[in-house]
Amino acid sequence: MHRDPDCAKSARQMLRAPEAAFATDLAAVAPHLLAGYHQELPPARAAVLGRLWRALLHEPLPGVAARRGDTGRVELADGRVLTGPPRLPHDLPLPGEDTTVRLDGHAHDHPAALLAALGLPGADALVAELDHGVPSLALSRAGAIRAAPARKDGGRPPAQIEQDVVDGHPYHPCCRSRPGLSVAEQLAYAPEHRPVVGLDLVAVPTRRCRVVGAWPDGLRDGDRLLLPVHPWQSEHVLPGLGHRPAVVGAIPAHPLMSLRTLAPLDGGPHLKTALTTRMTSAIRDISASGVENSAPLSHLLARVVADLAEPGGPHGRNGSGSPLRITRNLAAASAVVNGEPSADLAVLLRESPSAAARLRPGETVVPVAALAARPAGDGPPLIRALLASSGAPDATADWLTAFCDLAIPPLVRLLSRGVAPAAHGQNLLVVLDPGARPRRLVYRDLADVRLSPRRLARYGFDASPVGGRVANDDPGVLRTMLFGHLFGTALGALVSALADRDRAAESRLWSLVATAARRAYDDLPATPENRADRAALFAPELKVKALTLMRLRGVDQDAWIPLPNPLADGAPRGEHPR
């Protein structure tokens, strides 16, 4: 998309303090990006404002009395009125769209300024995060445009495809908020800038570590474990724990979508590191229970998924088996600090998606989020670029049907057995053949899976080795974890990317999703639990994560809210009801 130089000039004249601070730092460490940064500020403001406006229209935020997504109107409890563009919950931002929001007729084009003017309870911290997120996103876009290779439909390394997700979470207003990371650190560590990050090694006596799984010999030094640590963590957190790296920059690696998870250049397991700062919603550490659960949870899920694929079982039409793979947790370790395993000095070694997928020649594995994302420069989402090259007249509908028939059956079968993955666009990956057809699925990052010990026991699986928040027999929790992430986020973003705000096309695509979901449940035994799960999936409302409400509450705890369900019979897909 062409950027208007006059807009860039205007942006330089009206910088908010955090934007000016970014510009000053950028002039010192990467002056070649300064013009691009100023040019990207207006679209970055619009992108973050659009996400905030989505929250105001669809989340029950404190201080909001009434809201209508179909008309773009919000009434505050104090009588003031907000107006802006109509938006459905799953709508993705469009390049160049007008996201201006008017508060009692006064136009706002900056999300932090708007939120400050609203004065919602608990908003001060979020105002600061938005003020940081806008220049951070502008920096991401400027750096990505300069660093990105020309997009090719096939043959690119998986890590490079992940780095195409420049704008971050499609629905979260803190999509690129990275407090605690300086401009220089974002350029050095953030995936969209395509750096190579050298992970440090911290040597800790084995007796002072909690180790789960088969720790590799290459990360041992006599009676000490060598724990891979992110260099940001080494500089900012380890000194307070009384540790420092034994080897600096020992493992060169590519940062992936989550920034703190990295793929070593020489292959092998991916490394999920602690990065104890808030990005998007959460502080990114690795809890003691995450280390403890890593191996038993991985072992249990591998057995359940393998059992789904056994020939002759009730696992889909003609017992065809499951196309799902999981990335196994291979090992995890945390250092013991002050008598307790430290969430700030811990690491998890995870099988790579490529290894789990057992890729064949010409295949590539792609996160669903990357399929729905636009590249640097605001070209079409990757999935539309791939389908445009096919030339088939019904390529969009055919591809989505194939994806749903691949993804929905194994995931609802897992739920039937008591496993609810958080199958959002970052965790759920799809293997594409050379013609971009979906062939297999990969699910990674097992920390957010929920298990029902009671359901699992009925199928002969013992979940007792897995503890903490992972185990939960509440069917509402299980359904929300799977349905909210799979249908509310992953498929919502895909449908939006494919339809490009064509409401008639969108309605047809949601009908295809609903038909595939019905087929998946038709193939399951009609047990009371399966019938209840099915009824919840096609109910008038579907629970999704309230991303902005969570930040206003200021606690690291998930909040889920009901929204109109596009799968429900007779659901108004072209407009948002009251």
Tens-binned pLDDT, residue by residue, of the chain (578 aa) = 445 545 444 444 589 999 999 999 999 999 999 999 999 999 999 999 999 999 999 999 999 999 999 999 999 999 999 999 999 999 999 888 999 999 999 999 999 999 999 999 999 999 999 999 999 999 999 998 876 555 554 567 888 899 999 999 999 999 999 989 999 999 999 999 999 999 999 999 999 999 999 999 999 999 999 999 999 999 999 999 999 999 999 999 999 998 999 999 999 999 999 998 877 777 778 888 999 999 999 999 999 999 886 543 333 333 345 689 999 999 999 999 999 999 999 999 999 999 999 999 999 999 999 999 998 877 899 999 999 877 666 899 999 999 999 999 999 999 999 999 999 999 999 999 999 999 999 999 998 899 999 999 999 999 999 988 899 999 999 999 999 999 999 999 999 999 999 999 999 999 999 999 999 999 999 999 999 999 999 999 999 999 999 999 877 778 999 999 999 975 544 333 33
Strand partners, 430: 366, 441
Terminal Cα-to-Cα distance of the chain (whole angstroms): 35
Place of tokens 């509440």: 474
Last residue of a domain, one of 291, 317, 351: 351
Confirm whether 369 is domain-assigned.
Answer: yes
332 with 367, same domain: the answer is no
pLDDT tens, position by position, 524-576:
999 999 999 999 999 999 999 999 999 998 777 789 999 999 999 755 443 33
DSSP string, 467-528: -GGGB---HHHHHIIIIIHIIIIIIHHHHHHHHTT-HHHHHHHHHHHHHHHHHHHHTS---H
The tokens of 337 are what? 């600090």
Q: What pLDDT, on the 0 to 100 scale, is given for residue 11?
A: 47
Residues 409, 301: one domain?
no
User: What pLDDT, on a 0 to 100 scale, did the predictor assign at position 84?
Assistant: 97
Asked whether residue 46 is domain-assigned, the answer is: yes
> What pLDDT shows up at residue 455?
97
In which domain, by residue range, is 70 found?
5-177
Q: Kindly state whether residues 221 and 254 are assigned to the same domain.
A: yes
Q: Which of 144, 177, 210 is the last residue of a domain?
A: 177
Model pLDDT, residue 450: 97
Whether residues 287 and 249 share a domain: the answer is yes
CATH code for the domain in which residue 411 is found? 1.10.510.40
Regarding whether 397 and 330 lie in a shared domain, the answer is no
pLDDT for the residue 570:
54
Judgement on whether residues 95 and 218 belong to the same structural domain of the protein: no
CA distance 569 to 514: 9
The tally of domains found in the chain comes to 3
Q: Which of 149, 177, 205 is the last residue of a domain?
A: 177
Residues 334 and 390 in one domain: no
Measured distance CA(356)–CA(265) in Å, rounded: 17
Q: Is residue 184 part of a domain?
A: no
Residues 368 and 490 in one domain: yes
Q: Output DSSP code: residue 556.
A: S
CA distance 2 to 492: 28
> Would residue 556 count as lying in a domain?
no
User: Within this chain, do residues 160 and 207 fall inside the same structural domain, yes or no?
Assistant: no
Same domain, 59 and 154: yes
One domain, residues 117 and 155:
yes
pTM: 0.92
Q: Which helix (H) or strand (E) holds 425?
A: none
56 domain-assigned: yes
365 found inside a domain: yes
User: In this structure, is residue 557 part of a structural domain?
Assistant: no
Cβ contacts of 184 within 8 Å, gap of 6 or more: 25, 29, 30
Both 385 and 339 in one domain: the answer is no
Asked, for residue 182, whether it belongs to a domain, the answer is no
